[in-house]
Amino acid sequence: MEPAGEQSVQTRMLTIDGADIVYDYEGSGPVLLTIAARGGTGGRYAGLSTILKTDYTVVRYDRRCCGRSSGDKSRPMDLTQQARDAVAVLRDLGASQAYILGNSAGGSIALKLAEYYPEVVLGMIVHEPVMICLLDDREPLMQFNRKVDDLYYREGAGPAGKLLASNMVGMAPAGPPAQSSPGGPPKQQADDAEFFLANEHMSLCYNWPDLDRIKRNGINLVASKGKLSEGAFYARSADAVAAGVGCPAYTLSGNHIAYTTDPATFAAEIRPILAKLKELNSVP
């Protein structure tokens, strides 16, 4: 589907499995669904959307329990449910298929789409997904994240967030990723950060994707990482996905959240990747 419509941002809400999911979209052309990382708010893609809306209908949504969306905050993150939510957004928009862009936790959710809902995927870019279980050094990484989890329950989100941020590579000194990008009012950002540590952090760490299944599903998938993220577990996760699925891997110029800090450069670098995915769709 290629929704025709105005260039201004439109906002809609849908209800699925006990949650109200709020999403925004703008532009025209093939649908590009963006999936947010830590903090879960689609607003971090706003700058990128403004640029890419000339060629795509760019959709960004607040994941369940984050931002403007609701949900049961007592439950741990379920990546399969997150994938169902993404499909529901597309269906509510009237789109049967879309290009997908997911970063970090959003990349992990995107790969669940690739596992269980390949029919909705025209092409997919996963940028530095959280895939600790795929890495050779997963045990020390898991030990570090268990320390973060333990610190959260002993001392709260502030100290735990600082410890987690200490493991980030190539990031500005401003703080954790969720605070470096648009996420709504400060209290909402704080609530989303707290929810991440309480309900999503360890679920992501233990997530182990079925790369063989993704490969068999035969979707057009590429992995990407930022040059400034070199050596980070999330950059190496992108390489592990590419190796496991047998898909292309791209190195972009920025860091883990370059699409928020420098959306113009990020857009310029992913445009040819998206164009290549379009070409693959046109091959008989």
Q: Which long-range contacts (CB under 8 A, 24 or more apart) does 183-192 make?
A: 183/39, 183/41, 183/43, 183/44, 183/67, 184/41, 184/43, 184/67, 184/68, 188/41, 188/67, 189/39, 190/157, 192/39, 192/40, 192/41, 192/66, 192/67
Confidence (pLDDT) at 7: 60
**Cβ proximity of 63 and 36 under 8 Å:** yes
Residue at 240 is within a domain: yes
Total tally of structural domains belonging to the chain: 1
In a domain, 221, yes or no: yes
Residue 123 in this model has a pLDDT that exceeds 80:
yes
Whether the pLDDT of residue 279 is over 70: the answer is yes
Whether the pLDDT of residue 58 is over 50: the answer is: yes
Tens-place pLDDT, residues 132-190:
999 999 999 999 999 999 999 999 999 999 999 999 999 864 333 333 345 577 888 88
Q: Residue 187: its pLDDT value, please?
A: 86
**Tokens representing 22?**
């709020």
* pLDDT value at 9 more than 90: yes
pLDDT at residue 5, rounded to an integer: 47
pLDDT for 178 equals 37
Average pLDDT, whole number, for the chain? 93
Give residue 182's pLDDT. 55
The reply to whether 2 falls in a domain is no
Confidence check: pLDDT of 281 > 90: no
Residue 21 lies in a domain: yes
Domain extent, residue 45, equals 10-282
CATH number where 125 lies: 3.40.50.1820
Query: Does residue 63 lie within any of the structural domains?
Result: yes
Domain contains 5: no
Q: Is residue 4 part of a domain?
A: no
| Sign, Cα dihedral of 257, 262, 268, 269 | negative
Let me know how long the chain is: 284
- Give the amino acid at 105: A
- Residue 175: what pLDDT? 37
- Is 1 among the domain residues? no
Distance (Å) of CA 67 to CA 44, 106, 192, 272? 11, 15, 7, 31
Q: pLDDT (tens digit, 9 = 90+) per residue, 197-237?
A: 999 999 999 999 999 999 999 999 999 999 999 999 999 99
- On the question of pLDDT at 6 being above 70, the answer is no
